[in-house]
């Protein structure tokens, strides 16, 4: 099909000017290097895992440059050596892409690298490609179809790994998925075109091949970059609504969420309750054990509240040692029952500090929001909390 000849075990493309080959190779090498440099130096790093994933993605583009470099030096290193190095580079590219996505999720890559099925797949891919390029060098249709099938498997895995939170993809993750779909489409297009008369014109087909591959590089780079920038935006958003010590929502976010919940409650006529809790004698903890111990107590108390609440309940640190929880679809009796369970769980908390073990108690103020208004309900719950403190602490009072 292709205008190829084989002389002394070396395959040559007929009617391809050297300058043309240099331009094709150089274009893809430059694209790969630029992608690697900009990915490594121009992409934000959210945390340690993000830094490692960015490095892996940069390696992806370096491998693109390296594989095309091997094509450029094929006359000097030999055909078989070039084929092996090119496809080893492509395997490293695929591994780096999957590793970067795994690291972005905070997962280990050792299980993937050491999986016997992955090893068998990689070895099989290399042997099949070497066989095709050695004995079926003029059947680019078979080679492109095989590459498309292999890439479909790899990109299919990548599509599953782009989402960090099940059933909630960010806009960056959606863009990354679209870029993977575009890469798959490009591979399918090449496989189909290799079955048409276009493939018989070597120069024309290589030009088309180079253009489509360049589109894939840009698509992949754009998707990765959008996903990583969106991760940083999400980090800033989380920081703006999260208490830095306890890692639960802060007062600002609580008010934003509560307004939406109250609006729904008024519209659909369902019940809402609210509770406010406060750690008893917290100042004594700071005075006796130090502020580091006090921080440990706050974190332990917040973690307990987070464990005990329902998914739909909205928990926030209101300030100091005071926490608030909005309870949708909850009557006053249910809110009192939850508050009592939280009070008992607080009594069981044990916080180990440098000065010794710390036991704490907490007081709870509970109210039923009827009609559901935010400020009035908080005032009523705060009044109930004040009564719980005044009556001896470590108790639940409803208002």
| Gap between the Cα atoms of 279 and 68, Å rounded | 65
Tell whether 245 is covered by a domain: no
Q: Of the ranges 25-34, 97-106, 200-209, which one carries the lowest mean pLDDT score?
A: 200-209
Nearest one of 1, 16, 373, 381 to 203, comparing CA atoms: 16
Select the more confidently predicted residue: 48 or 89.
89
* Number of domains composing the chain: 2
Residues whose CB is less than 8 angstroms from the CB of residue 291 and which lie 6 or more positions away in sequence, other chains included: none
Whether residues 77 and 155 share a domain: the answer is yes
Per-residue pLDDT at 245 exceeds 90: yes
Whether residues 326 and 353 share a domain: the answer is yes
Q: Which helix (H) or strand (E) holds 85?
A: helix 79-104
| Gap between the Cα atoms of 130 and 367, Å rounded | 74
Whether residues 230 and 260 share a domain: the answer is no
Q: What is the CATH number of the domain that holds 88?
A: 1.20.1070
pTM of the model: 0.72
Residues whose CB is less than 8 angstroms from the CB of residue 299 and which lie 6 or more positions away in sequence, other chains included: 245, 246
For residue 371, what pLDDT band results from cuts at 50, 70 and 90?
Answer: low
- Mean pLDDT in residue range 359-382: 87
pLDDT in the model for residue 4: 43
Q: Mean pLDDT highest for which of 51-65, 69-83, 152-166?
A: 51-65
In DSSP terms, 319 is beta-bridged to 322
Per-residue pLDDT at 16 exceeds 70: no
As a dihedral over the C-alpha atoms of residue 77, residue 80, residue 81, residue 83, rounded to 10 degrees, the angle is: 110
| Gap between the Cα atoms of 394 and 375, Å rounded | 25
Q: What is the CATH number of the domain that holds 262?
A: 3.30.70.270
| Gap between the Cα atoms of 135 and 10, Å rounded | 12
Residue pair 97/57 in contact by the 8 Å Cβ criterion: yes
- In the structure encoding, which two tokens stand for residue 205, read together? 């087909």
Tell whether 246 is covered by a domain: no
Per-residue pLDDT at 234 exceeds 70: yes
Whether residues 178 and 279 share a domain: the answer is no
Q: Which domain holds residue 376?
A: 251-398
Percent of the chain past pLDDT 70, that is, above it, reads 91
Q: Of the ranges 84-88, 165-169, 180-184, which one carries the lowest mean pLDDT score?
A: 165-169
What are the tens digits of pLDDT across the range 299-325?
999 999 999 999 999 999 998 899 999
Classify residue 201 by burial, with Cβ atoms within 10 Å: 0-12, 13-18, 19+: middle
pLDDT in the model for residue 6: 41
Whether residues 277 and 391 share a domain: the answer is yes
Whether residues 67 and 206 share a domain: the answer is yes
Q: Are strands 4-7 and 272-279 parallel, antiparallel or unpaired?
A: unpaired
Select the more confidently predicted residue: 176 or 353.
176
Domain boundary among 221, 240, 259: 240
Whether residues 265 and 153 share a domain: the answer is no
Per-residue pLDDT at 14 exceeds 70: no
End-to-end CA distance of the chain: 86
Taking residue 105's Cβ as centre, other Cβ atoms within 10 Å add up to: 13
Nearest one of 231, 258, 248 to 171, comparing CA atoms: 231
Number of H helices, E strands in the chain: 14, 9
| Gap between the Cα atoms of 184 and 226, Å rounded | 19
């Amino acid at each position: 099909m292709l205008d190829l000849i084989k002389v002394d075990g070396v395959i040559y493309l007929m009617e391809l000017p050297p300058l043309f080959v240099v331009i094709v190779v150089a274009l893809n090498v430059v694209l790969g290097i630029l992608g690697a440099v900009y990915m490594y130096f121009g992409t934000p790093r959210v945390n340690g895992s993000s830094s490692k994933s960015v490095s892996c993605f940069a390696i992806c583009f370096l491998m693109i440059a390296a594989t095309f470099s091997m094509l450029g030096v094929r006359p000097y290193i030999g055909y078989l050596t070039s084929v092996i190095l090119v496809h080893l580079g492509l395997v490293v590219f695929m591994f780096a892409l999957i590793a970067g996505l795994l690291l972005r999720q905070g997962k280990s890559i050792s299980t993937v690298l050491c999986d016997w099925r992955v090893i068998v797949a990689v070895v099989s891919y290399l042997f099949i490609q070497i066989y095709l390029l050695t004995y079926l060098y003029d059947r680019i249709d078979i080679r492109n179809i095989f590459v498309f099938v292999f890439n479909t498997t790899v990109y299919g895995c990548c599509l599953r790994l782009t989402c960090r939170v099940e059933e909630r993809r960010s806009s960056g993750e959606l863009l990354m998925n679209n870029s993977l779909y575009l890469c798959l489409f490009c591979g399918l297009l090449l496989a189909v075109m290799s079955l048409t008369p276009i493939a018989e014109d070597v120069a024309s087909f290589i030009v088309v091949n180079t253009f489509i591959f360049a589109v894939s590089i840009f698509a992949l780079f754009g998707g990765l970059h959008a996903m990583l920038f969106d991760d940083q935006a999400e980090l800033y958003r989380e920081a703006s609504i999260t208490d830095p010590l306890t890692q639960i929502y802060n007062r600002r976010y609580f008010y934003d969420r509560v307004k939406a919940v109250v609006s729904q409650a008024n519209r659909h006529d369902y019940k809402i309750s609210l509770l406010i809790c406060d750690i008893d004698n917290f100042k004594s903890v700071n005075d006796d054990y130090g502020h580091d111990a006090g921080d440990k107590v706050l974190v332990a108390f917040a973690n307990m509240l987070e464990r005990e609440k329902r998914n739909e309940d909205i928990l926030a640190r209101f300030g100091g040692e005071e926490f608030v929880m909005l309870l949708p679809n909850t009557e006053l009796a249910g809110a009192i029952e939850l508050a009592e369970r939280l009070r008992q769980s607080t009594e069981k908390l044990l916080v180990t500090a440098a000065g010794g073990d710390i036991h704490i108690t907490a007081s709870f103020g509970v109210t039923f929001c009827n009609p559901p208004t935010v400020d009035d309900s908080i005032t009523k719950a705060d009044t109930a909390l004040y009564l719980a403190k005044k009556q001896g602490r470590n108790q639940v009072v409803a208002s």
